[in-house]
Amino acid sequence: MYLFTSEVVSPGHPDKCADIIADSIVDKILTEDPNGRVASEVFVAGKNVIIGGEINSKVNLSYHDYEGIVKDALAHIGYDGKSKFTKAQCLHPDDIEVKVCINQQSPDINQGVDQEDGEIGAGDQGIMFGFASCEADEYMPAAITYARMLSDKVYKFAKANPDKLGVDIKTQVTIDYGTKDNFENCRPQSIHTIVVSAPCVESMHIDELRALIQGLIDDTGLPKELYNKEKTIIYINPTGRYVNHSALHDSGLTGRKLIVDSFGGYAPIGGGAQSSKDYTKVDRSGLYAARYIAKNIVAAGLAKKCIVQISYAIGVAKPTSVSVDTMGTQIAGLDDDKLSNFVMQNFPLTPRWITQKFGLDKPSKDTFLYAKVAAKGQVGNAKYPWEKLDSIDLFKTLLA
C-alpha cells in the first residue's frame, strides 16, 4: 500500500462560516464599488460573531448592514432556526450577537496599490502556489476531489432534512496508490478509507444514522473502479455520538482551512488565506493565476502534474518570481526551465491582468460570488473563471 489522505469541511463548519461571512462582505462591497479595498477577518465563537480588519470603499456599511450580512450568510448555510436541534446543541439565528471593529486601510498600502498609470501594485508581499493533476476530471488530486463530493452530498441532504442532520460536517478520504511510483505518476488504485462525521438529532439511533450516511456515500457517484463498498474501510460518526455542533461547540476563524480550500495537502500552499480579501491581495489573485496556469499545462498534455509558484513585493505589479515544477512528469523534450520562461513571457501576471482576466472586481450571481467560492473551495470548481481551459492551444505550441 501507498496511502494519501485529504479532508474537507462543509459550509456549516465554524471556520467555513467565518470564511463565508467574510466573503459575503467582500461581495457586498465589490458589487457596489469595484474599486473597494477589503480585508475583514471574522471570528465566530459561541453566539458571538466579531468582524475586524480594514475596509476602504465608497460603500459605507452600518452596524445593521453588517448584522444583516452575518445573519443572512448563516441562514443560507443552514443555521436558520428550522432544525430540530435545541439552542444548546447548535447555533440559532435569534441568539447571534455581532460586534464590528472595522478600520480604514492604511494609506501606506494604498499609494503602492493604486498607481497613476492604472496598474495595480500587489497589496502585499507573499508567495502563492497553484497545482494541477491528471488524477481526476477536475484536474485535482483524487483524495480531496472525492472528499469534496462526499461533503457536498451529505451537506445537501442535511440542508434538505433539518429534522435529521445538522450542517457542521467533515469528510475524509484516503487513496491507496499501491506504490510510490503510482503516486508520483497519478495512478490511484482504490479508495482505501472514508470518514464522515455529521451531526444528527438526539432521537436518531447511531445505527439509523450510519445506514443513512452509508446510503449517501453509495449514491455520491464515486468512481466504480476505485470505490468498493465491501473493501473500503468506512467510519461514520466514529465516536458514536455527534449531536452538539456549530460555533457553540467549536469556534471558527477566517483563513484556518487553507488546505481544505486548496489541494488537500497534496501540494505546497503559500500560507496566506483567500477569504476576506479583495482582488488586489495577491494571496487571492495570485493563487487563482497560479492554479489557472498549472491546470492549463496539465490539460495541454505537457505534464501529469504541475506546481506553479508566483511571488510578489508589496506595491510592485510584476511578480518577483515565477517558477514551474512538473515534478518529473513532463513529456519528453520539455523541461521546467523552458516552461517557466514560457509562462513569464506570455502571462503578465500583474494584479490588474489577473483581475481583468478573471473579472475579480465584478462578482455577481451570473459569474461567481466570493461567498460561494469560500463554501466550495478556492480551486477545483469548473464554474470559476480561473478554472477555464482557454490557454491549452498556447501551451501546445511548445510541442511544435
**Rounded distance, CA 129 to CA 258, Å?**
12
Domain boundaries, the chain: 3-7+142-245, 126-133+282-397
At residue 106, the pLDDT reads: 62
Decide: 337 and 323 in contact? Cβ < 8 Å.
no
> The C-alpha cell of 188 is what?
490511484
At residue 115, the pLDDT reads: 61
**Rounded distance, CA 239 to CA 145, Å?**
25
Q: Kindly list the distances between the CA atom of residue 185 and the CA atoms of 301, 392, 395, in Å, as whole numbers in the listed order.
A: 13, 21, 21
φ/ψ of residue 130, rounded to 5: -110, 150
**SS3 call for 6:** strand
DSSP 24-72: HHHHHHHHH-TT-EEEEEEEEETTEEEEEEEEE-S----HHHHHHHHHH
At residue 121, the pLDDT reads: 79
- Selected from 3.30.70.20, 3.40.50.1100, 3.30.300.10, 3.40.50.1820, the CATH number assigned to the domain covering 126-133+282-397 reads 3.30.300.10
**SS3 call for 124:** coil
- Give, for all 400 residues of the chain, the pLDDT tens digit: 999 999 999 999 999 999 999 999 999 999 999 999 999 999 999 999 999 999 999 999 999 999 999 999 999 999 999 999 999 999 998 899 999 999 876 665 555 566 656 677 787 889 999 999 999 999 999 999 999 999 999 999 999 999 999 999 999 999 999 999 999 999 999 999 999 999 999 999 999 999 999 999 999 999 999 999 999 999 999 999 999 999 999 999 999 999 999 999 999 999 899 999 999 999 999 999 999 999 999 999 999 999 999 999 998 999 999 999 999 999 988 999 999 999 999 999 999 999 999 999 999 999 999 999 999 999 999 999 999 999 999 999 998 7
At residue 275, the pLDDT reads: 96
- How far from chain centre, in Å, is Cα 229? 28
Q: Kindly list the distances between the CA atom of residue 97 and the CA atoms of 25, 50, 67, 143, 167, in Å, as whole numbers in the listed order.
A: 17, 8, 8, 37, 20
At residue 400, the pLDDT reads: 79
In CATH terms, the fold of domain 3-7+142-245 is GMP Synthetase; Chain A, domain 3 (3.30.300)
E strand residue ranges, the chain: 3-9, 37-45, 48-56, 97-103, 126-133, 170-176, 190-197, 233-236, 252-253, 305-312, 321-325
Give yes or no on whether 3-7+142-245 and 126-133+282-397 have one common fold: yes
DSSP-assigned beta bridge partners for residue 305: 133
pTM across the whole model = 0.95
Residue 97 identity (one-letter amino acid): E
Query: For helices 142-160 and 206-218, what crossing angle results, to 10°?
Result: 120
At residue 52, the pLDDT reads: 96
How big is the CA angle at 378 (ends 100 and 124), to the nearest 5 degrees?
Answer: 60
